A and B are shown apart, each in its own frame.
Chain A
Amino acid sequence: MEFRHKHILGINELSRDDIVTILDTADSFKEINSRDIKKVPTLRGKTIVNLFFESSTRTRTSFEIAGKRLSADTINITASSSSVTKGETLEDTARNIEAMNPDIIVMRHAASGACHYLAERINSSVINAGDGAHEHPSQALLDLFTMRQHKGSIEGLTVAIIGDIGHSRVARSDLYALNKMGAKVRLCGPGTMMPVGIEQLGAEIFTDMNEAIRDADVVMMLRIQLERQGKTLLPTLREYARFYGLNVNNLKLAKPDALVMHPGPINRGVELSSYVADGPQNVILDQVENGVAVRMALLYLVSGVERGEV
């Protein structure tokens, strides 16, 4: 088991072996999360800065818990409380944080490429917690982890990803990850939300959601970004739910044991009906739970420390 990456900027830069290493490492950490004392000394003395320029509850909390369970010191900086409002550049913000010698910076930023920008300019490890519409690697890894947990293997699975593909960093990272692991990916969404040339990334494009989910092993529903959808992309959420929402009826088209997944937060009654969101096939909270173990694995692997007692 060898892991040579200093940064985790995107799935695109990871090999299949890297991904397996991360998932296997996460497997070994998962058990810690159900102990009475949920803490191991692996990253004792390491400092992790969660630098979030976009609001996030789930991802930031997950990274924070992951760091704390490995005994690292974690500090959260959010855009509203940072110097950004004073007009400081990203490079200056990064250098100031760098001057305090953190070991790992976990960053979320609205600009695609912001994590690459940071990684080129500082010495700490950088983990991408979501950059614009580019990548969200830890989400894709926890998705794979959850699929592997329930299906045993990812190879050969058919995964339908439905929704706003164009604005979704999750869709891109999932697409890369699933292709590398040998799954088949289908994409479906409104015409205004399908980016040019996405099929060249190795996906089958569907215009009819029913066809996209037919006989699928996994149905991954993306969040409709109410705040980003703008005036011109959709007529109404009502119509969106009708053509691109998952409900008990169209879910029957997928395999009977198909998993229903969602990166959260869900819009009940829009992309997911509540019956499906709370139904027996949903593994949405498993995704959240597994996120902690996967992020522990990422923090541990980029830190380069020897694995001590677990």
Chain B
Amino acid sequence: MKTLIQNGRVIDPANNIDAVQDILIEDGKIAAVGNNLKSTGATIIDASGKLVTPGLVDIHVHLRDPGLEYKEDIVSGTRAAAAGGFTSVACMPNSKPVNDNKAITRYIIEKAEKQGLARVFPIGSITKGLAGDSLSEMGDMQEAGCYGFSDDGKPVTSSELMRRALEYARPFNTVIISHAEDLSLVGDGVMNEGFVATELGLKGIPWVAEDAATARDVMLAELTGSRLHIAHVSTKGSVEIVRAAKARGVPVTAEAAPHHFTLTDEAVRGYNTNAKMNPPLRSSADVAAVQQGLADGTLDAIATDHAPHHIDEKNVEFNVALNGIIGLETALPLTLNLVRAGTLTLNRAIELLTCGPARALQLPVGTLSVGALADVAIIDPDLSWTVETAAIVSKSKNTPFIGTTLQGAAIKTLLGGRIVAEK
């Protein structure tokens, strides 16, 4: 089976390509990239006036499968991914049971291979049951197909255990993903500490709760020489800590979520539980610093922290609502907003959504090199659409962007050369 994508503006940052070209796909792989490609019997896709990029890569999602399928499952989550232009997702281990052993890892991979509409790269837990007590069988899980380890949602509180996790991971050349949060500083905070929290009478979470933990984990990576990835960076201080660490050669990478470069804690006004997440929406200075970090290379990836929750878990008083929002279907247009604002070049934006995240986790995706998997997004950067609850593909609808008109969408998503989503 052959497909020829013609006359699109091909942007493949991994190969420094930005040109109007054709892409020929054969047997699920990229067969050729070039001008005036010809192929007899190929299905033709006319991409004139559109962007053709590697399928997008999201290294931070919660698929809620196994165990929490009332929020999302591997099928619905990967369908939402495909709708948003994503062909690869890395799923966090806080399912029920936790992905802390190879049986769960295999379950996720096999279900995704059989029924999924995107590639799923599982992340195993650092500690058994996310309990923060003892290390999970990382070697076993890596063999089974895990691409990194994290206790996401919970920090590894013990500094000693975090050190051991980094040391243990090093010979396996896998990455430890830090959910950086000092819980004693978080206390019972429910939103960013600041003027808005004071006015609303809600308990605040100070920036230092994130920065202190980021600093600790960066120093532990420096001590051990192990690969560290900082998840969902939301503060100015954490951006600066990562920037300084990279400058002195610490093997650290980092990601930021679209909501953290788009919204401030002002979005919480009205006690909007769809603006409640962890880390919380921060100040405008933090938003600016995260944007700057994405532009200057301090941050390597845009990752959504797609966190589906049932309406019953959000339709409650603010302080008891669960943390998190869905993100797969809105990440691309929110990223393109930064291009339109002049913060990012288009090439950098695509890099942050493709080879940047793939490199951070060493995933075998994110490029259009000849021979690579034919995961492709065809993007109309100008398509204007309004986020509507009924049109959301994910099982859960918890997003603060409902009613917002966004610009840009994947009009075709190809997974291994097969069209898995179309607009």
Contacts and interface: CB of A to CB of B under 8 A. Distances in A.
Contact of A132 (B198, B201, B270, B315): B201
Nearest to A171: B201
B321 to A, nearest CB: 10
A195 B193 CA distance: 9
A161 B299 CA distance: 45
Q: Does more than half of chain A's interface fall in helix, strand or loop, or is it mixed?
A: mixed
Interface string B191-214: 001110111111110000000000
A196 B202 contact: no
Contact of A113 (B194, B202, B204): B202
B201 A169 contact: yes
Given A91-B315, A200-B195, A131 B201 contact: yes
B271 A113 contact: yes
Interface string A178-204: 000000000000000001111011000
Question: Among the interface residues A91, A172, A197, which one has the most CB atoms of the partner chain B within 10 A?
Answer: A197
A12 B200 CA distance: 11
Interface string B57-90: 0000000000000000000000000000000000
B262 interface: no
Interface string B156-197: 000000000000000000000000000000000000011101
A117 B317 contact: yes
Interface string A107-123: 00101111011000000
B201 A89 contact: no
A130 B202 CA distance: 14
B316 interface: yes
B318 interface: yes
A24 to B, nearest CB: 28
A223 B316 CA distance: 29
B317 A134 contact: no
A261 interface: no
Contacts of B199: 12, 172, 197, 201
A266 interface: no
B195 A112 contact: no
B203 to A, nearest CB: 8
B198 A196 contact: yes
Interface in B349-393: none
Given A90-B316, A117-B271, A112 B200 contact: yes
A114 B317 contact: yes
A196 B197 CA distance: 8
B317 A196 contact: no
Contact of A197 (B194, B271, B315, B317): B194
A135 to B, nearest CB: 7
A112 B195 CA distance: 15
A302 interface: no
Nearest to B319: A111
Contacts of B193: 196
B194 A134 contact: no
A301 interface: no
Interface string B217-240: 000000000000000000000000
A45 B4 CA distance: 76
Interface in A93-118: 109, 111-114, 116-117
Interface in B4-36: none
B270 A116 contact: yes
Interface string A128-162: 00011111000000000000000000000000000
Given A116-B270, A117-B271, A132-B319, A201 B201 contact: no
Contact of A195 (B198, B270, B315, B317): B198
Contacts of A112: 200-202, 271, 318-319
A109 B195 CA distance: 22
Nearest to B199: A201
Contacts of B312: 89
Contacts of A197: 194-195, 198-199
Contacts of A196: 193-195, 197-198, 204
Given A113-B271, A116-B271, A201 B198 contact: yes
Kindly name the residue among A109, A113, A133 whose own CB sees the greatest number of chain B CB atoms within 10 A. Answer: A113
B354 to A, nearest CB: 39
A302 B186 CA distance: 39
Interface in A195-221: 195-198, 200-201
B44 interface: no
A108 to B, nearest CB: 13
Nearest to B312: A89
Contacts of A12: 199
A134 B271 CA distance: 11
B320 interface: yes
A117 B203 CA distance: 18
Nearest to A112: B201
Nearest to B184: A232
Contacts of B270: 116
Nearest to A200: B195
Nearest to A169: B201
Contacts of B201: 112-113, 131-135, 169, 172
A217 B32 CA distance: 83
Contacts of B271: 112-113, 116-117
Nearest to B193: A196
A148 B176 CA distance: 63
A284 to B, nearest CB: 24
Contact of B202 (A116, A132, A198, A201): A132
A134 B200 contact: yes
9 pairs of A and B residues whose beta carbons are closest in the complex: A134-B201, A197-B195, A113-B271, A133-B201, A111-B317, A112-B201, A195-B198, A113-B318, A111-B319
Interface of A: 12, 89-91, 109, 111-114, 116-117, 131-135, 169, 172, 195-198, 200-201
8 contacts: A12-B199, A112-B271, A116-B270, A116-B271, A117-B318, A196-B195, A197-B194, A198-B198
Given A90-B317, A109-B317, 4 more contacts: A90-B316, A111-B320, A117-B317, A134-B201
